[in-house]
Amino acid sequence: MCTCMTYQHYFGRTLDVTHTYDEIITITPRHYPLKFRKASLIKNHYAIIGMAKVVDGYPLYFDATNEKGLSMAGLNFADTQYGTPLPSFDNIAPFEFIPWILSQCHSVENAKKWLQHLQLVQIPFNDQ
């Protein structure tokens, strides 16, 4: 079980597991191209720092913060149901969710606006 907490401007999280995922501190610079399976490529975005497992050059963030101070944690909800891709929505896979939000949003209020056009879709990162 993981614990996530915020207090004023501080954000923290535990990763309470008995094994490693080979996670490392990862920085996604401002102009690093972010590719998404169903959404458009983002070339100009906020810088992101967090804990991630990097696979084939793609940061699979556990949690992260962008340069504006917006933070997210990737928590597991076992019974989550994902939708199917919708036209005129940003169709984002769960592993893309943290970089998609943090690359574009500067505040919680701003993220709420982006979420109105989001559809989380079940797309695995790879076959494994």
Active site residues: 2
3-class secondary structure for 8-39? CCEEEECCCCCCCCCCEEEEECCCCCECCCCC
What is the H or E stretch that residue 100 is in?
A: helix 97-104
Structure tokens at 81: 């149901």
Whether the CB-CB separation of 59 and 32 falls below 8 Å is answered with no
User: DSSP secondary-structure letter at 75?
Assistant: -
User: DSSP secondary-structure letter at 34?
Assistant: B
